[in-house]
A and B are shown apart, each in its own frame.
Chain A
């Protein structure tokens, strides 16, 4: 399969779409939306500031939980009309804990109801979803040891044969060390299931740990077994670097080594976004940092061997996003959450990057606009954040791109430090067509984390890995979005986490589909409120 995928990529250099380069139009609706949440706190909250996006009401509309830092997290139920303005109502959910730095949704116990993982400055907490957007603490029931650290990264996977997920939690520096904190990175933790039980074993330390700010389980080589990618903040580690871990069922986690081809990279790693930009079947990785950001593409095979070696193609593709492009400041930027989504539905995935100064760092831009980098048919990107209306100068951190009003256009929410979270409705008038899918399977991994969703558009196959993790302390479940350009239909299939390839099925454009295992796609339509 690997050779086939690469051969395909060699034949396909360009994947034009009818609406290529259309600049999207976003309308900020923060004030009217009902969202009123600030990520508060001082030094211990200079990183973090996440948002979890998920549907807990069962109406298909994404709800959200916003981290509050030193203030309580806030839950908002989505009450938008399909295609209408973005509207949310604050509600008591049971997730309103303080000291929350980030949050990820995940159906941990496989009951079909989304649960939540709260990353905190202090004890991490898992919350069991009860339905109707209510949650309750489940640390004790699931034997989840929350520890006492400054937790700043998360990723989840289901290891082969497991009835419970494996959670990786990344930790930052020792917050109790005031004078010489550098080099005091707390161990990251791997919470694996207790053998044969639907609860967690005591967490394993992922030593060495280097102050992770993003983690992602990803099948980088399409081996069928995801590895754990960790992006680390070089500000605090000593002797550290970016990491890739083998996490093989039944074996102790082990770092990929230089002998295995892993190349040392040391950045202010803050966020990971992944997507198969090259249509070669393998994910590319965008790594946020300070000043220049990185876009990594797997190098060609060496002597028939696939090695975890990557070229940095950020410069060539125009996504270094190293300095503000509007606002007049010329100092370098600081990047946090990153996410690939097709915001203009032209079939070419675009890149959003949340920006914001760490905390009064005068050598970096104080007014640091978010980036919205639009992909062109030749695979390069151009900046459109200002023209699209999302070039906020607030201090961005976590974010999520999701279709909040289910109109086929991806909207945006950004968490800001010491300022209100902002939400924008994508109101693009000239966007292309689209399809959104939800994947489901029986068994413990209900949302099919680790699956690959493929959509054939003309001569190319768009692929995205159904991951849980990455970004900057922000995650989401629910609809997976694909732009289709001017196509009125597309072929779609799922490669399930166990490697079983689903059948290709043809679906009409501009619709939602539930892709259940061993079933034909089922069209889904938002109901009237």
Chain B
């Protein structure tokens, strides 16, 4: 298998630019500066996925769990729209509660780009109906432009039939999503009433933001999962027993975080920042892995079947990760390093990352990175080297990895460097992710 590291240098540089190439084409076409080129279903999916990464960042309810849910449902939307052509096996019956999508008219002509455009436009419009005015403007602009471009030169009956079918698939997935427990997010996910646990070692608010005096989405672990049976399907052993005694396992873990923070190398600092993936300032941790997948797919000029397969599978794995991780987080309800260290070790300690407003164990980034690595490794292979340009436009540069598990392990360790997780949450989070990812990799997409 050819990897980006097998490419000549010039080709690697160009690969990084490919991610945005389709968007540039759209922008220029809108001004008439370039001749129009009718996009295929693969580029329609790529462009909408790129838009989704921006909308996740710019829609205030889109914390990482909520973002993962959208990636899953929109991935399934794209997949089922593509599957209607007959080359892919439907995920109906494989994903919890998903019934078969509407069938196409036998013998009638459909255009796959128009189907994909209609399905994704419907899905994005509905999953991001609460985005701000700029997101609304951007969605409308993309929908109008892509609808025009995909319809160019087609018979009206084909357009109408394809649009109707794409929207029907979108509506089908949307209806399926409404009963999963995650469809309504109020107050950006922070409950108005939440009783804090007063046991020793329980999570306590870490922020001076009033909204965050209650933890994020405490019921998320009860949501209907996608490919794994329930949120409890990949359980974890308990974290080290809480203790403030020097020499205890818990104290030792906290001391390790503290001492690491005091001696951070420039590389460790860069890793912490690179994988920080803060909500509303980035595409979030699940969006980071979606970006990696999209970037590789775009570089290899993957066909729509491969893109839909991987984006659906990865989205499902990421969404299941947050359900499983959140299930464990609120089972163990563990204190964050910043609270413990200031209480026991150094009252003035300041980690370099902002501590997320929810319990510590396990690490969400670790769980979802483990699941993502499992899915991507199954798809591209165990020794697939790649460059990660997710944050290139943030000025954080591009990082290179020899394989997906190396990246996942770095993502997990970034939370220790950042001072927001203990080691147990990282290591066991990765293992939980491996377990959860296996459900997604087991989905059958081809006969």
Binding site for B on A (CB under 8 A): 43, 46, 173, 177-183, 234-236, 238-239, 266, 290-292, 312, 314-316, 320, 322-323, 330-332, 358-364
Contact = CB atoms under 8 A, between A and B. Distances in A.
Nearest to B146: A179
23 contacts: A177-B27, A179-B27, A179-B30, A179-B51, A180-B23, A180-B50, A180-B51, A181-B138, A182-B54, A182-B134, A234-B281, A235-B58, A238-B393, A239-B394, A292-B208, A292-B209, A312-B208, A330-B187, A332-B60, A332-B188, A361-B60, A363-B130, A363-B185
A180 B281 contact: no
Given A291-B211, A332-B60, 11 more contacts: A180-B23, A235-B134, A239-B396, A291-B188, A314-B208, A330-B187, A332-B188, A362-B129, A363-B60, A363-B185, A364-B60
Contacts of B186: 330-331
A405 B50 CA distance: 55
Interface residues of B, number: 38
A139 B23 CA distance: 38
Contacts of A314: 208
A182 B57 contact: yes
Nearest to B55: A182
A344 B170 CA distance: 58
B381 interface: no
A166 to B, nearest CB: 28
A180 B135 CA distance: 9
B211 A332 contact: yes
Nearest to A316: B208
B27 A180 contact: yes
A364 B187 CA distance: 8
A55 B122 CA distance: 54
Query: Could you tell me the dominant secondary structure of chain B's interface residues?
Result: helix
Contacts of A330: 186-187, 192
A180 B138 contact: yes
B133 A322 contact: no
A292 B137 CA distance: 26
B444 interface: no
A289 B297 CA distance: 38
B132 A235 contact: yes
B61 interface: yes
Query: Could you tell me the dominant secondary structure of chain A's interface residues?
Result: loop
A43 B137 contact: yes
A181 to B, nearest CB: 6
Interface string B9-46: 00000000000000100110010000000000000000
Contacts of A359: 132-133
Nearest to B209: A292
Interface in B157-192: 185-188, 192
Contacts of A234: 280-281
Nearest to A359: B133
Nearest to A266: B281
A179 B145 contact: yes
Most buried by A among B59, B186, B188: B188
A323 B209 CA distance: 12
B395 interface: yes
B20 to A, nearest CB: 9
Interface in B386-440: 393-396
Nearest to A173: B134
A179 B280 CA distance: 18
B130 A358 contact: no
A291 to B, nearest CB: 5
A356 B138 CA distance: 22
Contacts of B54: 180, 182
A498 B195 CA distance: 56
A162 B211 CA distance: 47
Contact of A238 (B61, B211, B394): B394
B115 interface: no
A239 B141 contact: no
B142 interface: yes
Contact of A332 (B138, B141, B187, B278): B187
Nearest to B50: A180
Nearest to B57: A182
Nearest to A234: B281
Given A235-B58, A320-B210, A363-B61, A179 B133 contact: no
A400 to B, nearest CB: 26
A360 B130 CA distance: 9
Given A239-B395, A330-B187, A364-B60, A179 B142 contact: yes
Contact of B133 (A315, A361, A363): A361
A234 B393 CA distance: 14
Given A330-B187, A358-B133, A322 B211 contact: yes
Contact of B141 (A178, A236, A266, A291): A178
A362 B210 contact: no
Contacts of B393: 183, 238-239
A365 to B, nearest CB: 11
B143 to A, nearest CB: 10
A178 B129 CA distance: 17
A290 B396 contact: no
Contacts of A183: 393
Contacts of B187: 330-332
A440 to B, nearest CB: 42
Most buried by B among A43, A178, A332: A178
Q: Which 5 pairs between the two chains have the least Cβ-Cβ distance?
A: A359-B133, A178-B141, A239-B394, A239-B395, A315-B208
A266 to B, nearest CB: 6
Contacts of B185: 363
B364 to A, nearest CB: 20
A236 B145 CA distance: 22
B133 A46 contact: yes
Nearest to A181: B134
A43 B394 contact: no
Nearest to B26: A179
Nearest to A235: B58
Most buried by B among A179, A358, A360: A179
Contacts of B130: 361-363
A327 to B, nearest CB: 16
A239 B61 CA distance: 21
Contact of A178 (B138, B188, B278): B138
A360 B134 CA distance: 11
B141 A179 contact: yes
Contact of A291 (B50, B138, B209, B281): B209
Contacts of B50: 180
A46 B136 CA distance: 13
Contact of A361 (B132, B192, B209, B395): B132
Given A180-B27, A235-B58, A320-B210, A363 B188 contact: yes
Contact of B60 (A179, A239, A290, A322): A290
B183 to A, nearest CB: 14
B60 A292 contact: no
A45 B138 CA distance: 16
A182 B142 CA distance: 14
Contacts of A361: 60, 130, 132-133
Contacts of B188: 291, 332, 363
Interface in B114-154: 129-130, 132-134, 137-138, 141-142, 145
B304 to A, nearest CB: 21
